[in-house]
Every structure is written in structure tokens, then in C-alpha cells.
Amino acid sequence: MRRNRIGVPQADDLHVIHLGRLGYRAAYDEQARHQREVIAARAKGEPEVGRLLLVEHDPVITVTRRGDAAGHVLAPEKLLQAVGVAIETTDRGGDVTYHGPGQLVAYAVLDLNLLGLRLADYMRLLEQVVIDAIGPFGVRGFRDPPATGVWVRSEAKGSLGLEAKICAMGVRVSKWVSMHGLALNVTTNLEHFRLIKPCGLDRPVTSLAAELGGEGPTMETVRTALVECFRGQLAQTPGLAAKKKRWMS
């Protein structure tokens, strides 16, 4: 683990890893490896904040093991093959969703014990990261409990001002170290969401590009904003804030 100059875990210690374009299963194996390493670091008495893996996936529908999730894949297998969309079973929370090019996926492998976060607190943190990241681009995100994720009052053509989901979320925790995370639609092909019932909800999906009339920020710009907002939110977690306060006192 990279240590900061004061030797106390801080948000800046978050290790950001750019995976580029990668298939879902390969990315899953990579984040699972990082999760094992973060768990092992704590066991050795060297806890770390964690790692943030950023990736764009090849087109894929991921289905959780929830009883009704598979039924939310609306397209037959032949159609999925024809449009080049794979299907994978996953162990994250939530339901069914789509990943593909133009979507920024952030897999956060974080030591929630070190951060002092309960699972519910962590989900709210993920939502706030996205709300903070997209705000400066002129897109106002908000929560809509009990649904998880980030929503906007859509200004996309033909949306009629309906609330639409711009970022889906789902996580899994082992020994209080998280994996999986969030999927933010930047320039995603929204037509592919018609192949499923996203997150099991009959509600529209949108993207930054759709909301901004095709004049949205680049993927690189959004990645930079997301990382900055991640670190900003981590710095305010009970665990890191308390450690910094003790060091400064």
C-alpha cells in the first residue's frame, strides 16, 4: 500500500486502477483479487482504504441470483446474440442491468471497517459521489428511496420530464470489504436497455449525453470528476475523519 507522508490512512491513499475496455468476467476476477488483497492487508495489521477499478465493458447483461431477476431479461437469447450482447450471472446485490461501451463502471474495493461505514451508509456515499460528479456538467442528480441509484428529471428528447435513472448500483461485501459498485451512463447506447427491465423497474434510463443533447463531457473528463468526488466523500467518512482528527490533535 502506498502510504502518505503522515502515515495515517487518508482518502488520497485510494489506489485508482484503469482497466480500459474489458469483458465482464475478466473484470470480475480482477476486482475479486483486489478484494482478497485488501482483506489480507487488514489481517496483517496494515489496513488500507482500498482500490477503485474503472472500466468500460463489452456489451453484457448481468443478472443477480435474486429469484425474479432472470425474468427481467426481456429479449430472447437469439436476439441477444444477434445484437452482440452477452449475458452473465453475478453475485452483486440488486437485479438485472446492462453494461457496455460509453458507460463508466467503477468497482470500489473498500475497507468499510476502516472507513467506519455501515452498508446503508456506503450506498448513500456511492449515490452522493455520482450526484457530486455530474452536477458541474449541468445535470442535477438525486436519490429516490427506496430505490437505489441516481436519478434525474430527464430533459432528453421525448422524455416529457420523467424521472430517469442515470446510474445503477449494486455491491457485495465480504469481511467488510466491498466489491462491485456503480455504472454511470455517459454515452451509453440506451437502446440496449430495452432488452431488459432495468433493476426490475418500469422506469426509463438516461445518460449524460442524452441529457445534454449530445454535447456532454468526454469519458476521460467524467472519470477524473468521479475519482475526485470519490476521494472527497471518503475524506468525510467517520473512520478517516476520526483518524485525521487524532493525528492533528
Domain extent at residue 54: 11-243
pTM: 0.92
Residue 1 lies in a domain: no
Residue 123 lies in a domain: yes
Is 6 among the domain residues?
no
Contact 219, 102 (CB under 8 A): yes
pLDDT at 159: 66
In the prediction, which pLDDT does 242 show? Answer: 66
pLDDT for the residue numbered 244: 57
Q: Is residue 69 part of a domain?
A: yes
- CA atoms of 98 and 58, how far apart (whole Å): 10
In a domain, 112, yes or no: yes
Give how many domains the chain has, as a whole number: 1
In-domain check, residue 67:
yes
> What number of other Cβ atoms are within 10 A of residue 183's Cβ?
25
pLDDT of residue 158: 63
Find the CATH number of the domain harbouring 69.
3.30.930.10
127 within a domain of the structure (yes/no): yes
Q: Say whether 199 is catalytic.
A: yes
Instruction: Please pick, among 199, 210, 225, 240, the residue that the annotation labels catalytic.
Output: 199
Q: What pLDDT is recorded for position 7? A: 54
SS3 for 10-51 is: CHHHCEEEEEEEECHHHHHHHHHHHHHHHHHHHHCCCCCCEE
Digit-by-digit pLDDT tens for the chain (249 residues) are 444 444 567 888 999 999 999 999 999 999 999 999 999 999 999 999 999 999 999 999 999 998 889 999 999 999 999 999 999 999 999 999 999 999 999 999 999 999 999 999 999 999 999 999 999 999 999 999 999 999 999 877 666 678 999 999 999 999 999 999 999 999 999 999 999 998 888 889 999 999 999 888 999 999 999 999 999 999 999 998 766 554 444
In a domain, 204, yes or no: yes
